[in-house]
Amino acid sequence: MFAAIFRSCRPSSSLATALKNPILAARYHREPQTDLNALSDLVGELTTTVPSSSSSTLPPPPFSGFNSKDSGPPTADATGYAPPSPPVSQYGSRAGIETVIAVKPIWRLHCKSTRNNTIATLAGPNEGPDIWKEDGKRRTTFWFSGGSCGFKKANRASYEAGYQCVVRMFKKIEQINEVKPIQLEIYVKGFGQGREALRNAMLAAEGMKVRPLVVSVTDRTPIKIGGTRAKKTRRL
C-alpha cells in the first residue's frame, strides 16, 4: 500500500536525493510497511548526516602548492647536515711522502709464422736513444727461429720447431721481467704451424708466467682483397 501511495505522489528534491543513499534503500527493503511519517523522519536524519555531492570535500588539484616563482631545487637550512667530505688517505697525512704510480714498460713480441719457418722477435720499450733505427723501426732485442733452435731444412716448418722457438722466447721474457716488471703486447702474422704452437704454449705450463704480462693480442696477417692475380695453386 505504501508503494502505491509513494508512486502517486512526486517526491521532493531532498527525498529523491536521500532515496539514492544505499542505507535508506536497504532499510526500505527490510521494512516495506514503514509509514510515510517514519520515512520522512528517516529522510531528515539521512540528509543531515550524509553530505551532498555539491558540498563534499574534493581533493586539491595537482600542483596546487607549486609556486611559479620558485627557482631551483629545495635547499636545507643552516641546521641541516654538512656536505660529505672526501676520504682522507692514511698515506697522505705523512710528511715527505709522495704517491708515485709506476708505469711498466711495454715490450712487443712478434711471431711470424710461414709455411717454411717460424720467427719470434722481441722488441724493447720506448726507452733510450738507441731504441729506434734510422728508418723509424724499433731495434730488435732478441729473436728465435726454427733454424736457431736446431731444426734444419723442411723440419723448420714443423709444429715442434715453432713450439720450441716460442718456449725459448718465453724463458727470455721471464728473465727480463725478473729484473724489471714489464707488460707484453703480442702480434701474430701468418697462417703457419707456429701460429697454433704459440697459442698452445701460451695456455700450457710454459706460458704460466708470461700470461699475466700480456695486455693485448693483435693479428697482423695481411689479407689480400682484389689486386693482381694470385699465384697458381700448387698441386702435388
pLDDT digits (tens, 9 = 90+) for 171-185: 999 999 998 899 999
* Residue 168 exposure: Cα atoms within 13 Å on the Cβ side: 20
106-219, what's its fold? Nucleotidyltransferase; domain 5 (3.30.420)
Domains of the chain, residue spans? 2-49, 106-219
User: Global pTM?
Assistant: 0.53
- Please state, in angstroms and rounded to a whole number, the distance separating the CA atoms of residues 208 and 202: 7
Label residue 198 exposed, middle or buried (CB < 10 Å: 0-12, 13-18, 19+): buried
Are the C-beta atoms of residues 156 and 193 closer than 8 Å to each other?
no
Residue with cell 551532498: 52
Q: CA angle 230-234-235, nearest 5°? A: 140
pLDDT for residue 166 is more than 70: yes
pLDDT digits (tens, 9 = 90+) for 80-89: 777 777 776 6
**Cα end-to-end distance, the chain, whole Å:** 120
